Amino acid sequence: MKEKASALLFAQEGDQYIGRSYEDIDCQELAELMLRGVGIQKNLRGSNAWFRAMTWTGTPEECRKVYGEIPVGAFLFIWDGNGGEKQRGYSDGLGNASHMGVYIGRMGGAIHASQSRGSVAYSEFKGRSIRGGWNRVGLWDWMDYGERINGILDGNPSSVSADEGKEVKTMTERDMIVTADSGTTVNLRAKADIGGALVCRIPLGETVLASPVGDGTWSAVTWGIRNGYMMTKFLRERETAAQTSSVSANALPPSPEGKAVATSTDLQAPETNQGAEAEEKLNMLEWMKGIEMQIQLMNNTLSKLCVRVLDLEDKVE
């Protein structure tokens, strides 16, 4: 079985290319660059080839009905059935996917290389079919969309129609406050699972955009440019959060399992001072590692900008 790449991390790869010229990066190349960022090397012949490479395709409405949601990291396509695919060498009757992008769940909803704007840009997508715009969703079994969606996708998705699929009830995205009985942060994970990779730690009191998924135990969360999943019990509406007792300055840090430790609802024994110190050191090391990665990313971006400036200077001369 091939190792899947995190769809959430994939969705974050496109930010570094915002503003890059369409002459340098078209819609297919953007998707492939983003995939390389999460370890997948794949080169296909345009958006129609990518559309046909998907494990499952359907309208946004069908996606929500079959899978319960449109997961962050899903591929988006502008599709029509006017037979235009024949001009591109396809006679399979699957329609013409003239353009592609990626659903990122923030900054308007999507990212793509826009020919009309002449650059890589964010795009409006609210999870509904747009006439003349994003009207097809593609899910690919190389991506990790979370255990529930993976389970459906890895089964026999071609036999699951929109009418047969059981829709999972989800709630509208809304502003929520991150809160806990103790600790200073709550973990944001790459998938709705206690073993999911850590995306970042969100300080208590921060406002996030959240929407419960599945049975409601977890919520899809957007915090700034970060996307991930958080246990719903650590999210409160503004009014409820305001009534929550303040956090002690000596509260223990969050556990690696993604929840604040030593709360009455967790039914865990109190941590010893030694254990708290060890956890604090671990948090500090991970924080330093995160800062180091951010610095490296900034250095890479600056290097690319310097190269672009030099290229422009050469052209001017």
| Domain locations in the chain as residue ranges | 5-159, 174-271
Q: What is the per-residue pLDDT for 252?
A: 43
Whole-model pTM: value is: 0.56
Does the pLDDT at position 265 exceed 50? no
Q: Which of 74, 70, 26 is nearest to 47 (CA)?
A: 26
**Res 255 pLDDT > 50:** no
The reported pLDDT for the residue numbered 88 is 72
If 0-12 CB within 10 Å is exposed, 13-18 middle and 19+ buried, where does residue 270 land? exposed
Region 71-87: mean pLDDT is 86
The CATH number fitting domain 5-159, selected from 3.30.70.20, 3.20.20.10, 3.90.1720.10, 3.40.50.2300: 3.90.1720.10
Is a pLDDT exceeding 70 seen at residue 28?
Answer: yes
Angle at 101 between CA 99 and CA 104, to 5 degrees: 160
Cα 41 to Cα 35: distance, rounded to the nearest angstrom: 7
The average confidence (pLDDT) of the chain is: 77
Q: What is the mean pLDDT of residues 82-96?
A: 78
Sign of CA dihedral 27, 30, 35, 38: negative
Give the Å distances, CA to CA, from 22 to 106, 111, 300.
22, 13, 21
Architecture per CATH, domain 174-271, reads as Roll (2.30)
Largest CA distance in the chain: 70
Residue 288 pLDDT more than 70?
no
Is 267:240 a contact under the CB 8 Å cutoff? Answer: no
- Helix H or strand E segment including 31: helix 27-37
Of 11-25, 102-116, 209-223, 281-295, minimum mean pLDDT range: 281-295
> Containing H/E element for 240?
helix 238-243
